[in-house]
Structures are given as C-alpha cells and as structure tokens.
Amino acid sequence: MSSVWEKKRNFGKFNELSGDINTDILIIGGGIAGLLCAYKLHQQGADYVLVEKGEICSGVTENTTAKITAQHGLIYTDLLRRFGKEYTKLYLEANLKAVEDYRSLCKNIDCDFENENSFVYSILDQKKIKDEINALKYIGFDAKFKPTLPLPVKTAGAVCFLGQAQFNPLKFLGEISRGLNIYEHTKVLEMKKNVALTSKGKINAKRVIIATHFPFLNKHGAYFLKMFQHRSYVLGLENAQQVDGIYIDEQKTGLSFRNYGDLLLLGGGSHRTGKKGGGYKELEAFARKNYPNAKIKYRFATQDCMTLDDVAYIGRYSPATPDLFVTTGFNKWGMTTALLGAELLCDMLCGKRNPYEEIFSPRRSIFRPQLAVNAFETVTNLLTPTTPRCPHLGCALKWNKEERSWDCSCHGSRFDEKGRVLNNPATDDLKI
C-alpha cells in the first residue's frame, strides 16, 4: 500500500540535468529538508541548484505522520541536564518558531493545515511527565499536565503543548516547489572537492548542502558513528476514532495517534533498522482489539536518523570541509527540524548570524552513551560472516521477512529482493 499522502501528490515535472553547469550553491537531496533549503535560498535570490536521484519527496518524506510540534518526546528534561538552561531554552525557541513559520506559510496554501494540541504520554511513569513539565516551566514555557487522554491506552498522564499543528506534507511541498531550480533523476555519483559528478554531467559549486536523509560522504564528519536509523510503521484506519490532537508515547517503541480527515493514523511497532520489532503485526493486533470495526485503508513505513544526543546535525559538515554543509538527524521530528534547518543554513550561506547555529552544530561532542552502542553494532556486523554485505561499509545484512527487504542494522541501508537500494546511506545497489 502507498502512504496516505501519496494519493494527493501533485508535483510538477522537473528536467534531468543535461551537461555541465555552474552554481553558487548545490543542494543534494529532494526531500523536505532539501526543498525547504531551496525555497529559503530562492526567497533570498541566491544562485542555487537542487538535484534529486529520483523524484522529489518520493522517499522518507512521503511516509511521515506530519506532526508539526516543538514537543519532541520528553526531551527538555534531558537537554536541561546535559546542556543547561540557555541551550534548552534556545532549542525550544527554535522549534516554536518553526511551528509559527509553518502557520504563516500555510495560510495561502491548500495543504489541510490544522491547529492541534500536542501530547506526550507515559504508560507507567508519571514522574517523567511531572519532571518534563517542571523543566519546561524552569525555562519559561507553560506546558500543561493532562491526567487522562481520549485514547484506548491507560496512561500515567501526559505533557500538553497547546497550539501545535498538523498538515498534508506533500500538498504543502508540491506548492512551494513550483518555480524552484530542481533537477530530478540526477544522481550524484561522487564528490571531488566542490565538484559533483552526476549521472548526467558535472556541477561546479562554490558551496554544497548535503540534504540526503543520511549523509552519504563517509570521509568527513563520522556520521556513520554519530547516527543510526530507527524504523516505524503506520496504519491508516477507517471507522476508528477521532482523537482531537496529536499524541505520542514517550518510549521510542510506543504508539502515536493523529487523525487525517476521517482516518486515524496509528503509528508504532518501532525498532532499530535491521533488528526485530513489532512492525505492522503489533499495530494490527492493537487495531483488532481496540477498533474492531476499523478497516485498514493505508499501510506505510518510514525510518528516522537518530543522533547521539537527540539533537539534529545542522551546519558545516565537518571542520575540514568549510564549504560543505549538512542537515540531518531529525530524530523523528522532521517537520519542525527541516524548516528551522533550512532557515539556519540559509542564514549561514547568506552571511547572516543565526542564534541557533551552535545548538545544532555537527561539531559538538560525540562522547555520549549511544556512541558505544553504535560502535558495537558496527563491529559486530562487520565480523558476522554472512552474505550479502552492505555496499556502504560492508556490514552484514539481515533479511526482513515482513517487508521482504535486506536491512543493515549498522547504518540503516535497505535493499529490495532484487538488490535495489531503498534507503541510504548506501548509494549503490546490492549485488545478489
């Protein structure tokens, strides 16, 4: 089945690159992150080009649940503990600004934009909820405690952010992409300094933004150690429930809920890509028990890049590459993070100061507990004597029976039965 958004996909057609070109700024990747970068640079009158190996927004972006919120799980307690008050306050401010920017952008775009309250709930631990509310109050934000929710799960309470939102991402992106300088079906095969060698010609650029879902350049930045990927699943249910809000469990393997029209989008079954998890079966069992009259109209899956400290990497790709930039690692919150990332990079490239630059800088410390987990997973899979192997860095692949794909638990690359790449960082097909 396709995603719920795909039936209303209405993008214009963009040409393939044909021959060599020059540009000030090259954007590689045509998902929401790359398109918003192009849109912001276009508004500034910058000289830019965006290239996409397939069609724009045909990857992870079309499989999002499209919640527009600054409430990223119970993140503010952890940020306050790790980084202090000023950092945490700026992170919240950046994401609240992104919510308001969407609200402003969507006023004149038919994209099913709706204002909604956002909730993060806990099944068992009310203390976590109270701690998050106290952390938010400490940095000056009035979050609400909700003891009960209109969901078919018993909770210990929830943190509520008023005035968040939801929309149809493909209708929104289809509109803002009109008139942008985009080349589709133009795959970047190799980067040589500031020259992109593509399947259709060379692009000479003064500066480059890597906006692919997972950065594909391994020589710099160590993103293969700084991130892993988490896969999650969604059912679009007819005759289920109107939940009046957007909801997510504070546990990364918990359930999420939101409506789109008369559908309930039930998300969950999450697991590290390449590992076992609940998948569609978990969601189907939940739906049978709690919505016995519901009918499954849509079934789709996505995966998210998870960073070491739950904060995205936006800024210069590495200290050794001053003209190379990146926006990645959205930790399941790609809507607000993609927009604030586009604004941040646009400011950096246009010589403007951005107050959030240091918060999201990829140069920040990598010494977090998750680093050891990522390193262990990589070493274990490199030493596993099985075939086939992932062409990204040679890790062992595991067969995913439910989705009939070869999955890499090191970095999240996926391939179909015939070896065609489904999810990066791998850029080459698998030889089976």
Helix (H, G, I), strand (E, B) or coil at 373: helix
Is the domain spanning 369-423 CATH 2.102.10.10? The answer is yes
Residue 101 or residue 252, greater confidence: 101
Q: State the Cα–Cα distance between residues 329 and 324, nearest whole angstrom.
A: 16
Residue 9: per-residue pLDDT: 74
Sequence length of the chain is 432
Residue 1 has pLDDT above 70, yes or no: no
Residue 8: per-residue pLDDT: 66
What's the whole-number average pLDDT of the chain?
A: 95
**Average pLDDT for residues 113-130, to the nearest whole number?**
97
Q: Which residues of 7-35 are buried (b: 16+ CB within 10 A; e: fewer)?
A: eebebeebeebeeebebebbbbbbbbbbb
User: pTM of the entire structure?
Assistant: 0.95
- Residue 191 — very low, low, confident or very high, per pLDDT cuts 50/70/90? very high
In 244-312, where do the E strands start and end? 246-249, 256-260, 263-272, 295-307
Asked if 4 contacts 265 with a C-beta cutoff of 8 angstroms, the reply is yes
Q: Dig out the tokens for 420 from the structure.
A: 């065609």
Domain ranges of the chain: 369-423
**Average pLDDT for residues 382-410, to the nearest whole number?**
89
Torsion of CA 84, 88, 89, 92, to 10 degrees: -170
User: Residue type for 53, please?
Assistant: K
User: For 15-29, 116-130, 146-160, 385-399, which range has the lowest pLDDT when averaged over its residues?
Assistant: 385-399
**Average pLDDT for residues 15-22, to the nearest whole number?**
96
- Residue 200 — very low, low, confident or very high, per pLDDT cuts 50/70/90? confident
Percent of the chain residues past pLDDT 70, beyond the cut? 100
Residue 382: per-residue pLDDT: 84
Q: 415-430: per-residue pLDDT in tens?
A: 999 999 999 999 889 8
Q: State the Cα–Cα distance between residues 134 and 252, nearest whole angstrom.
A: 22
Q: State the Cα–Cα distance between residues 68 and 114, nearest whole angstrom.
A: 10
Residue 362 has pLDDT above 70, yes or no: yes
> In terms of DSSP bridges, do strands 182-183 and 48-51 run parallel, antiparallel, or are they unpaired?
parallel
Residue 432 or residue 197, greater confidence: 197
